[in-house]
Amino acid sequence: MMMTDERNEELFRAMIESARRQAPAPGDDLFDRVMADADREIASRARAVVRCRPRRSAASVLLAVLGGWGAVGSMTVAALVGLWVGVFPPDGLAALSPALLGGETVAVPLTGADALTGLEDML
């Protein structure tokens, strides 16, 4: 019985050793196929990302061009302040105007019918 076990073990070892001697080196052809698969996977992932990206509306493109919501907010505040200063000029502004406009004081009302008259005088 013991002898049989030993011989079985030897048989098993001989068979395993035959298989273990198989240690093939991958050829260039297999390597190229594997790399082609890797490249295809990178490309298909890139395509999937593009497909998943939502289409942008004209308004969102304009918003991006202007610099986003932060920039648009700043521009709006600046416009409102400018309008406010035009309609209700602060006291100091009247004294500053002659220096800026070559010594002449020109009043340009932003409201009322004679606004263009003031512009003609200035020209």
Give the residues lining the site for another protein (CB under 8 A).
Answer: 8, 11-12, 14-16, 18-26, 28, 30-31, 33-35, 37-39, 41-42, 45-46
- Residue with Cβ nearer another protein (22 or 111): 22
Residue 92 and residue 107: Cα distance in Å, rounded? 14
Q: Considering only CA atoms, which of 86, 85, 82, 94 is closest in space to residue 112?
A: 86
Q: State the nearest-atom distance from the C-beta of 83 to another protein, in Å.
A: 50
Radius of gyration of the chain from its Cα atoms, rounded to whole angstroms: 42
Q: State the nearest-atom distance from the C-beta of 31 to another protein, in Å.
A: 6
Q: State the nearest-atom distance from the C-beta of 76 to another protein, in Å.
A: 40
- CA 112 vs. chain centroid, Å, equals 47
